[in-house]
Amino acid sequence: MAATPDYYKTLGVPRTATADEIKKAFRKLARTHHPDTGGDEAKFKELNEAYEVLSDDKKRKLYDQYGTANENQVPQGWGGGAVHVEDIFGGGGGAGFGSWADILESIRHGEGAFGTEWDFGGGGSGGFGGGARQPRPRKGQDMNVTLNVTFEEAFKGAEKRVTVRVPGRNESETLTVKIPAGAVDGGRLRFKGKGGPGENGGAAGDLLITTKIDEHPYYRRKSADVLMDVPVSVAEAALGASIVVPAPDGTKVRVKIPKGTQDDTVLSIKGKGAPQVKGQGTGDLKITVKVVVPTAMNEGQKKAMEDFLSATTQDVRSW
């Protein structure tokens, strides 16, 4: 049997690492080594295997104690199982197990106490209730993958092909992922049965794909609303103006800037946001007015501003 790798060394964390420290280390390394971004597929598989064990409290305890997270490789008849003593003994001592001192002595010798999750039913001889011990089926681990999409792909919807390598499976698998129109950052798609293989006949886990929307030079998303900063000149803000703004659906929209508009004023354009993923309708395009103060002026501009200042009677500072 091949030696189990040092999962802590694989993720670059100490054995005392917290769950958050393990998660952060995995995410950082996964971005670097993911095959879709040119990373090493074998290394990515090692990272997934290490994270699968260290992110699961029960598997991590088994691994720390026995050097393996596979319950079938724990010394036979013992281990870190979940069978309660009261369930077996009925609250008292118990035939076939000896005294508590015997049990504690077994633990001190590294044998653990009570096997992994065994099925004690059946009509055979020996064991508990006369039945042969059979490991219970266990569902496989869910696997998480981050999928980067452009702003346009999330806005309009798209199909992307994703190749994943699931720990415990020999072959990688390429899946077609349908990104719904209006997909949000952090949205999750679930592929049932595409995760880690089950144990002892248990069902396979699921593959969870989380969408990560790339930054756009103009737009940002907030649910189905699209946010956008729109620069206007001092004169446009003071006198009012009608300007044309590019909408995220590819159209042009005329927007009225009311006279006296202040910096950071938000104007909404109904129905020009992203489609709602669940339900009907679309969000809004919300533009934030950014008043641009000139840093350099020609002589005509300078004279106009001086005349404006001379004609101003309002005190903008009231203290």
Check residue 66 and give its pLDDT.
76
Beta bridge partners of 7: none
Structural domain spans, the chain:
7-67, 143-213, 219-292
Check residue 2 and give its pLDDT.
54
Check residue 75 and give its pLDDT.
55
Q: Does domain 143-213 have CATH number 2.170.190.11?
A: no
Check residue 97 and give its pLDDT.
39
Q: Pick 7-67's CATH classification: 3.90.1150.10, 1.10.10.10, 1.10.287.110, 3.30.1360.120.
A: 1.10.287.110
**CATH architecture of the domain with range 219-292:** Sandwich (2.60)
Check residue 291 and give its pLDDT.
96
Distance CA 34, CA 154 (A): 21
Q: Can you list the residues of the chain whose pLDDT is less than 50?
A: 1, 76-130
User: Are 27 and 9 within 8 A, CB to CB?
Assistant: no
**Is residue 245 helix, strand or coil?**
strand
Helix or strand run (H / E) with residue 65: helix 57-66
Check residue 116 and give its pLDDT.
38
Check residue 299 and give its pLDDT.
95
